[in-house]
């Protein structure tokens, strides 16, 4: 469990009722927390502009605006959307009021009077959770940077290997010894595989990095673009692709990668004797869009249905080319959209990949640590 050092933490204590605010500030300061105070909504917003607190204890009833509206404003600003905000109130204590505040973005709701020991323990718990989240975000950024660097740095020697193998082939020309030719071909093949792998790693490290803002994506035109990009494999395999009417969803351009990968896998993992028949459906349910991509391909043993979404996990050898990155990246992107992906399949019986995306856009920055 992460240690909380109160001296490193700043708490913004917002309340227009002076005695209550004073008592809370004293209590928090006594155990070492640094405390800032505000008594109106505007003062709260101004204070946060100046210094970002680790926790905001936010009274619900303020003289100039409701604490719930202050919370909504903080959540809609990219700079403050990840603040930890806990409401505190002695008058708005009904379950419906608490539900509304929590649904509007608050992380917690405390009802006064609250036992001082319980208040301190609760504040400690929120700060602990915040520290753990910050650590996770930091590690995620570090990992992102690391894989980006590694992929970049590996590309350089790889280019040297490929160009010298080609140069060697050209120099020796037609007189090349057959064994030597096979060896050079192996070098080239290995280098090409490594390039696919590095490119995938680079893409994976960049997926869902939080740089894309959600916008309306017309899935019908996205599908047209994706099938356009896959024209040659659709043609070569004789694939038939059909779809239901598709919606406009809130998402980023990375959704194109999701559909591109699901469709190209549906073609790639086809049965040898049957052209792929692929259908994409979409329906709305419980605040989400549920998409499915069904194929009549070789299918997946249900015991591997989790494993295929992990990076570098493949169920096939080099007879079917691939780096085992596609579905891991798809899952990363889907999670960054606040969605979920899973597969239903059986060996030899085709596969259906399900994709659930929230109707409301999610905050991409929050979802980056996936």
Query: Segment near ligand ADP (CB under 6 A), from 31-39, 66-74, 130-138, 261-269?
Result: 261-269
By CB under 6 A, is residue 316 in contact with ligand ADP? yes
Q: What is the 3 state secondary structure string of the chain?
A: CCCCCHHHCEEEEECCCHHHHHHHHHHHHHCCCEEEEECCHHHHHHHHHHCCCCEEEEECECCCCEHHHHHHHHHHCCCCCCCCEEEEECCCCCHHHHHHHHHCCCCEEEECCCCHHHHHHHHHHHHHHHHHHHHHHHHHHHHHHHHHHHHHHHHHHHHHHHHHHHHHHHHHHHHCCHHHHHHHHHHHHHHHHHHHHHHHHHHHHHCCCCCCCCEEEEHHHHHHHHHHHCHHHHHHHCCEEEECCCCEEEECCCHHHHHHHHHHHHHHCCCCCCCCEEEEEEEEECCEEEEEEEECCCCCCHHHCCHHHCCCCCCCCCCCCCCCCHHHHHHHHHHHCCCEEEEEECCCCCEEEEEEEECCCCCCCCCCCC
Query: Segment near ligand ADP (CB under 6 A), from 39-47, 52-60, 235-243, 313-321?
Result: 313-321
Query: Segment near ligand ADP (CB under 6 A), from 11-19, 41-49, 65-73, 321-329?
Result: 321-329
By CB under 6 A, is residue 127 in contact with ligand ADP? no
By CB under 6 A, is residue 324 in contact with ligand ADP? yes
Which of 165, 250, 266, 341 lies at the binding interface for ligand ADP (CB under 6 A)? 266
Task: Give the shortest CB-269-to-ligand ADP separation in angstroms.
Answer: 3
Question: In this complex, which beta carbon is closest to ligand ADP, that of residue 124 or of residue 264?
Answer: 264
By CB under 6 A, is residue 247 in contact with ligand ADP? no
Query: Segment near ligand ADP (CB under 6 A), from 42-50, 75-83, 90-98, 326-334?
Result: 326-334
By CB under 6 A, is residue 259 in contact with ligand ADP? no
By CB under 6 A, is residue 341 in contact with ligand ADP? no
Residues in contact with ligand ADP by CB under 6 A are 261, 265-266, 269, 295, 297-300, 308, 314-316, 322-328, 351
């Amino acid at each position: 469990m992460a240690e909380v050092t109160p001296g490193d933490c700043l708490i913004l204590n917002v309340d227009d009722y002076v005695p209550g605010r004073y008592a809370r500030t004293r209590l928090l300061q006594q155990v070492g927390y640094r405390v800032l105070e505000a008594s109106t909504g505007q003062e709260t917003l101004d204070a946060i502009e100046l210094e970002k607190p680790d926790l905001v204890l936010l009274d619900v009833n303020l003289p100039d605006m409701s604490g719930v509206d202050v919370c909504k404003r903080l959540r809609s600003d990219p700079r403050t959307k990840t603040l930890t905000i806990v409401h505190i109130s002695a008058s708005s204590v009904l379950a419906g009021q608490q539900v509304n505040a929590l649904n509007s973005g608050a992380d917690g709701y405390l009802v006064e009077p609250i036992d001082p020991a319980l208040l301190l323990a609760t504040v400690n718990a929120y700060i602990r959770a915040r520290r753990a989240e910050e650590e996770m975000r930091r590690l995620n950024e570090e990992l992102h940077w690391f894989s980006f660097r590694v992929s970049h740095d590996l590309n350089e020697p790889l280019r040297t290997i490929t160009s010298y193998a080609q140069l060697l082939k050209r120099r020796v020309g037609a007189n090349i010894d057959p064994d030597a030719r096979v060896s050079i071909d192996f070098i080239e093949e290995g280098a090409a595989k490594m390039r696919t792998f590095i490119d995938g790693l680079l893409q994976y490290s960049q997926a869902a990095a939080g740089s894309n803002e959600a916008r309306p994506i017309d899935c019908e035109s996205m599908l047209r673009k994706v099938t356009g990009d896959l024209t040659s494999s659709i043609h070569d395999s004789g694939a038939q692709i059909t779809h239901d009417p598709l919606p406009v969803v809130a998402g980023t351009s990375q959704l194109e990668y999701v559909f591109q990968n699901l469709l190209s896998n549906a073609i790639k993992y086809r049965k040898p004797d049957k052209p792929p028949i692929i259908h994409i459906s979409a329906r709305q349910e419980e605040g989400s869009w549920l998409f499915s991509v069904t194929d009549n391909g070789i299918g997946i043993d249900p015991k591997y249905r989790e494993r295929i979404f992990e990076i570098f996990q493949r169920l096939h050898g080099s007879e079917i080319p691939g780096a085992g990155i596609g579905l891991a990246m798809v899952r990363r992107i889907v999670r960054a959209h606040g969605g979920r992906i899973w597969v239903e399949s059986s060996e030899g019986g085709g596969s259906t990949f399900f994709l659930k995306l929230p109707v409301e856009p999610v905050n991409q920055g929050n979802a980056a640590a996936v």
